[in-house]
Amino acid sequence: MSDTARIPAIVLGGTGYVSGELLRLLTAHPHFDLAGVLSDSQPGEPVANAFRHLAPVLGELKFSAQAQIEALLAGLPRVAIFGAAPHGVSAALIDALLARAEAAGVDAHVVDISADFRYRSADAYTAVYRHAHGAPARLAQFICAVPEHLARAPTRHVAHPGCFSTATLLACVPLLALDLVEPTLFVAGVTGSTGSGRKPVEGTHHPQRHSDFYAYNPLAHRHTPEIAACAQLASGVAAEFAFVPHSGPFARGIHVTVQAMLKTPRSGDEVLGAFRDFYRGAPFVQVDAGAPHVKDVAASNYARLTAAANGRTVAVTCVVDNLNKGAAGGAVQWMNRLFGLPETAGLTAPAAGWT
């Protein structure tokens, strides 16, 4: 693709950690040009004020209000829209922008990172989030999955699963799709503090989080129904998930361990072989016999997995970066696909290490 064919990109909800990661990826992307960043709380303010580490690449770019983004949309032939607004806000915002794009004949694709389009029905969404969906008529236009589990998106727009969900799905879908396990899976996941967002709360306050480790919302986390729905879509198997999330004393990363009962006893090598075959051709999934570390993937779009088996028990471990593979990077990976670009474009930088 020539520089003259570069695709304008717009980021919605521009001041959070995920937005910052999107900006970092998009400013270095070979095919997308950052055209606008929406923030109704800071319109007219320099984007670099919110993300000082990105100041060298953001230049004089300023946050835009919704009306400015809508006016910008109307003058573009095509656009990539990345939704990083909070759940409960994202749906109505995306609905308004898509209506504007449709009226102007703009070729628009959306990848939403919030939870607003992860469910197939408004009732399923409301059951989890306890408020009405902001754009129920748009739900059929979105599919929710990690890129590795769908050869192509059957819809025009995509909802990227959450970070816990991404790691869990990468670990469990091969087990279910290959009919290796009984359909009851036990998941223990650990997240870094950036997973709680930019607004300071007790769980992310450094004196509370530092050198500590604890579970929260055991067997009642809001991502559990999302995991079950996405796993069934990807594998064809309706499974039950018992999920216990934990807060870890690090900033970036997700570490998930999935345990289940094998239908037939298998060795660890056999399970590893099955995973290698399943993810053959998936450029961002690395299957290895060694234990994956969060620092192996921090600040990258890569996932690392391993598996162990003992008799009929199997344990699969997966690590991803919550802000990248679990959010912004996975969204860019999907958008690459939606526009027919190389899936790996702008995403091949390795982990930072020693974060």
CATH number at 57 reads 3.40.50.720
DSSP 168: H
Same domain, 106 and 137: yes
Same domain, 299 and 192: yes
Q: Among 193, 170, 325, 328, which Cα is nearest to 256's?
A: 170
First to last CA, the chain: 34
Residue tagged 């579970």 (tokens): 215
Complete DSSP assignment for 109-137: EEEE-SSTTSSSSHHHHHHHHSS--S-GG
| Adjacent-strand bridge partners of 140 | none
CATH of the domain at 252: 3.30.360.10
Q: Would you say residue 346 lies in a domain?
A: no
- The reported pTM is 0.96
Same domain, 190 and 316: yes
Total domains, the chain: 2
Report how far apart, in Å, the C-alpha atoms of 119 and of each of 135, 186, 219, 238 are.
12, 22, 19, 15
Q: Which of 99, 114, 144 is the last residue of a domain?
A: 144
Q: Which of 85, 109, 144 is the last residue of a domain?
A: 144
Coil, helix or strand at residue 352 = coil
- Burial of 283: CB neighbours in 10 Å, binned 0-12, 13-18, 19+: middle
Same domain, 103 and 208: no
Q: Among 241, 219, 221, 220, which Cα is nearest to 230's?
A: 241
The answer to whether residues 125 and 345 touch, using CB atoms and an 8 Å cutoff, is no
Residue type, 111: V
Same domain, 302 and 243: yes
State the CB neighbour count (10 A cutoff) for residue 22.
Answer: 30
Same domain, 53 and 198: no
Q: Which domain holds residue 315?
A: 163-322
Locate 255 and state its tokens.
């570490």
Give me the catalytic one of 144, 163, 172, 230: 163
What's the rounded Cα separation, in Å, for the pair 177 and 148? 13
Same domain, 293 and 201: yes
Q: Would you say residue 338 lies in a domain?
A: no
- Burial of 131: CB neighbours in 10 Å, binned 0-12, 13-18, 19+: exposed
Q: Would you say residue 185 lies in a domain?
A: yes
Same domain, 134 and 173: no
Q: Would you say residue 169 lies in a domain?
A: yes
DSSP 49: H
What's the rounded Cα separation, in Å, for the pair 257 and 186? 8
CA dihedral 294→51→112→123, nearest 10 degrees, is 90
Q: Would you say residue 154 lies in a domain?
A: no
The answer to whether residues 300 and 285 touch, using CB atoms and an 8 Å cutoff, is no
Same domain, 206 and 297: yes
Report how far apart, in Å, the C-alpha atoms of 302 and of each of 29, 36, 44, 285, 321 are.
17, 27, 35, 6, 8
Q: Is 163 a known active-site residue?
A: yes
Residue tagged 């696909």 (tokens): 337
Same domain, 90 and 197: no
Q: Would you say residue 221 lies in a domain?
A: yes
Residue type, 296: D
Q: Among 300, 289, 303, which Cα is nearest to 355's?
A: 300
Q: Would you say residue 260 lies in a domain?
A: yes
Coil, helix or strand at residue 159 = strand
Same domain, 140 and 9: yes
CA dihedral 113→115→119→124, nearest 10 degrees, is 180
Complete DSSP assignment for 12-28: ESTTSHHHHHHHHHHTT
Q: Would you say residue 73 lies in a domain?
A: yes
pLDDT string in tens for the chain (355-residue length): 444 589 999 999 988 999 999 999 999 999 999 999 999 889 999 999 999 999 999 999 999 999 999 999 999 999 999 999 999 999 999 999 999 999 999 999 999 999 999 999 999 999 999 999 999 999 999 999 999 999 999 999 999 999 999 999 999 999 999 999 999 999 999 999 887 677 767 777 777 888 899 999 999 999 999 999 999 999 999 999 999 999 999 999 999 999 999 999 999 999 999 999 999 999 999 999 999 999 999 999 999 999 999 999 999 999 999 999 999 999 999 999 999 999 999 999 999 988 8
Same domain, 218 and 298: yes
